[in-house]
């Protein structure tokens, strides 16, 4: 059996990326009236993570905020004035929500993707029993199909220095497909349902409910796949129509993967089946990512209850 300390403080972030609209507008609503996210056993704090980007309806001002939550930045009390705005903002958020501040117990970060990811739950560890049990609760109780994306990886260039690092436990709710700068009612409502289900789990945990051992299917990142490029580093091919919108579907050796601008098919030549995620995500063109290759795994989740002393 695993135990975890009672949860005292939960933060719900929207607008980590300023053009991902369902999280932005949910948090704006909760900042005006917090009754819906109030639970008697803990404090819930809504937060617009990147307010300048939200004001401009842009993903970020200088650099991607969701890659700035690093120990290097956290060690700065006052970043130099020449540092990007998002570095300053990451330090501010750490002072308020992270180890330098009140050390919030849970961070729930709301995101949208242009990829056909559905109701994706993103976690960073296969060893955090509290988060794994919360995710299992979401899968079972939300009434939504929720693939689980595990970003835990030993490859340094895939390290995700995202907002989940601020809390003792963290989860990102990544919903799509939704265009950047657009608010879609169905996704807004699904996001809202998932947040409420997270908060319900935390309240039950605080009240002493024991969560039994479970198994949890996850998609663990393996590597990223870039678009084919020419000598000028420009795209020479696009995602193949047979792969487009097929997030979480198996991609087998020999399956169509890209289509060149001249109409030739480029097939997947890997040694084993992978499960692509974030296929053709608009924000990832600048990062050199056509999709994430993942493998499907089943985790054993230990029994969980609140620590009583």
Domains of the chain, by residue range, sit at 2-218+300-306, 225-284
Phi, psi of 145 (to 5 degrees): -75, 125
Q: In whole angstroms, how far apart are CA 14 and each of 26, 150, 214, 249?
A: 7, 21, 30, 29
- pLDDT averaged over 10-residue windows placed end to end, the chain, 309 residues: 94 98 98 97 98 98 94 83 94 86 87 98 95 98 97 64 83 98 98 98 98 97 96 97 98 98 97 97 96 97 91
Sequence-distant (≥ 6) Cβ neighbours of residue 102 within 8 angstroms: 9, 96
In this structure, are residues 47 and 13 in contact, taking their beta carbons and an 8 Å threshold?
yes
Closest CA to 45 of 225, 195, 191, 158: 195
pTM of the model: 0.95
Q: In whole angstroms, how far apart are CA 257 and each of 111, 173, 244?
A: 26, 27, 9
Say what the pLDDT of residue 80 is: 87
CA distance 31 to 29: 5
CATH class of 225-284: mainly beta
Say what the pLDDT of residue 100 is: 56
Say what the pLDDT of residue 166 is: 87
* Residue 45 token pair: 């704090």
Say what the pLDDT of residue 79 is: 85
Active-site annotation, residues: 174
Topology of domain 2-218+300-306 in CATH is Aminopeptidase (3.40.630)
Sequence-distant (≥ 6) Cβ neighbours of residue 215 within 8 angstroms: 298, 299, 300, 301
Q: Classify the phi-psi angles of 235: left when phi > 0, otherwise alpha if psi is within -120 to 50, otherwise beta.
A: beta
């Amino acid at each position: 059996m695993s135990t975890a300390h009672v949860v005292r403080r939960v933060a719900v972030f929207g607008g980590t990326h300023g053009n991902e609209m369902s999280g932005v507008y949910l948090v704006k609503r909760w900042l005006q009236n917090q009754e819906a996210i109030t639970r008697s056993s803990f404090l819930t704090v809504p937060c617009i993570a990147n307010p300048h980007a939200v004001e401009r309806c842009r993903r970020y001002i200088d650099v991607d905020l969701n890659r700035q939550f690093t120990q290097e930045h956290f060690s700065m009390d006052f970043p130099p004035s020449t540092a990007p705005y998002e570095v300053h903002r990451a330090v501010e958020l750490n002072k308020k929500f992270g180890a330098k501040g009140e050390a919030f117990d849970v961070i729930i970060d709301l995101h949208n993707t242009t990829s056909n990811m559905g109701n994706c739950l993103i976690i960073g560890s296969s060893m955090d029993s509290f988060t794994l049990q919360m995710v299992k609760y979401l899968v079972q109780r939300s009434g939504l199909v929720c693939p689980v994306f595990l970003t835990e990886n030993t490859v340094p260039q895939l390290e995700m220095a995202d907002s989940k690092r601020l809390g003792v436990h963290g989860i990102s709710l990544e919903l799509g497909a939704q265009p950047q700068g657009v608010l879609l009612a169905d996704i807004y409502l699904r996001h809202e349902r998932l947040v409420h289900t997270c908060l319900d789990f935390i309240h039950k945990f605080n009240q002493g409910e024991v969560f039994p051992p479970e198994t949890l299917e996850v998609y663990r990142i393996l590597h990223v796949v870039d678009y084919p490029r020419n000598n000028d580093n420009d795209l020479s091919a696009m995602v193949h129509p047979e792969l487009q919108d097929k997030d979480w579907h198996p991609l087998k050796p020999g399956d169509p993967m890209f289509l060149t601008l001249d109409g030739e098919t480029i097939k997947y030549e890997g040694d084993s089946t992978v499960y692509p995620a974030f296929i053709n995500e608009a924000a990832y063109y600048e990062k050199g990512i056509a999709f994430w290759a993942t493998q499907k795994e089943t985790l054993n989740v230990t029994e969980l209850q609140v620590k009583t002393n």
